[in-house]
Amino acid sequence: MKILIISSKDHWTHGWFTSTSDLITAVNVLQKAGIEVITTEVENLTQLETTLDNVSSDTLIWANAYFVNNGNNKVVWLNEYIENRKLPFVGSDSKTLQNVLRKDLCQSILAENQLPIPYFTIITRKNIEEIDTLISKRQDSQYPLVLKPTAESGSIGVCLAKNIQEVKKYSLEILKEFPNSEVIIEDFLPSDDITCGFIQIGNDVLLLPTAYIVKSVPGKNNILGRKERLRSWDNNDKIQPYISDKAILNQLKTNIAPIATALDIRGITRIDGRLDRNGILRFFDINGLPALCFPDGVMVKQCLTCFPNYPEMEVFEGLIHTIVFNALLQYGMEVPEIMRKHNLFTMDSDIIIRSKIDQYIDTI
């Protein structure tokens, strides 16, 4: 079998592999497993379609971007063109990716399924003049409030407003800077970030419960912005410890798989949340293409935290094997023996939570 990894010019930042060096690391793992790997970068839709025209039937596609350029500063969803040709691919489909990338759509879906999220308000270019009334109607008018562009990821454009004047100011700035986004305003949740990995092979699920802490920017009073997200892990100030608190673990067990099911996540995601003032874990970010940059990508770091008794590269190999295993299984394609023997489900850990996805389907 073969794997074709398609990257997209100008869109590496939000992909699984955000640089060529990160991509090469993953390619080496796949080649070591006996898989023929082809990598390409497309500049536009025409190049993408030409690439897909030449895909053989024994090829699994790994799209390393949400978008591909389509001229005149426009973009289209890369996975849509793979799906239209009914080709096998890694990860979630384009509808799911659109739903999770658009924070307003994502939170609305979770709310419809009675899953715990922070209360939110959407500010658009049409209702910006009514912002005073919209904010005054919120269930909880306590400040600060968190403002985000609805169609960005990686904490880009996220800010904290301490009063209505700042809400207006930041809303206008977001609408100006991000023309494809509206503004989502959420309750501030006074705790450090909790980030839980969701990894699947068939109906079997692993949950990876970790915190995301920057001690110099305590979550009780702060949010983590792009600056903090880009900092290197230092095992001192910026850390990602596993979670042992039973109340939090129980809430993760209750909610993570139903969130994945509600959004039709396939194979892998990372779900972020925080505790509200009453200790309820509320979720605000679901990652469609979690970065797999070794060793510092959040999802990779999460695996290293949750499988502490293995060498780092062995854990990374297990992660890559698991992602590909699930995709091959879904399409009835042959799974290399090494992936059956070595994946995250065959590795030992007292930290991970093992579960099954089918037991949650009737709950939503």
Q: Specify the pTM.
A: 0.94
The answer to whether the CB of 326 falls within 8 A of the CB of 177 is no
* pLDDT (mean) for 109-129: 96
Query: Residue 99 in contact with residue 109, Cβ under 8 Å?
Result: yes
Of the candidate ranges 64-68, 79-83, 137-141, 226-230, the one whose mean pLDDT is the lowest: 137-141
Burial class (CB in 10 A: 0-12, 13-18, 19+), 282: buried
CA gap 95, 241 in Å, rounded? 33
Q: What percent of the chain has pLDDT over 90?
A: 90
The CA distances from residue 269 to 197, 207, 298, in Å, are: 6, 10, 11
Q: Model confidence over 161-172: pLDDT tens digits? A: 999 999 999 999
Backbone Cα Rg of the chain: 20
Q: How far apart are CA 197 and CA 268, in angstroms?
A: 8
Q: Does position 360 have pLDDT exceeding 60, yes or no?
A: no
Verify cis geometry, omega within 30 degrees of 0, for the bond prior to 295: yes
Amino acid at position 95, single letter: K
Instruction: Tell me: pLDDT of 4 over 70.
Output: yes
Question: Which stretch of 36-40, 69-73, 329-333 has the lowest confidence by average pLDDT?
Answer: 69-73
pLDDT confidence of residue 140: 64
| Measured distance CA(340)–CA(136) in Å, rounded | 55
Most confident stretch, 68-72, 179-183, 273-277? 273-277
pLDDT digits (tens, 9 = 90+) for 235-254: 899 999 999 999 999 999 99
The whole-number pLDDT of residue 71 equals 84
Map out the domains of the chain with their CATH numbers: 2-90 (3.40.50.9100), 119-187 (3.30.1490.20), 193-363 (3.30.470.20)
The phi-psi region of residue 126 (left if phi > 0; otherwise alpha if psi is between -120 and 50; otherwise beta) is alpha
Residue-wise pLDDT tens digits, 57-91: 999 999 999 999 998 889 999 999 999 999 999 99
Question: pLDDT band at residue 28, thresholds of 50, 70 and 90?
Answer: very high
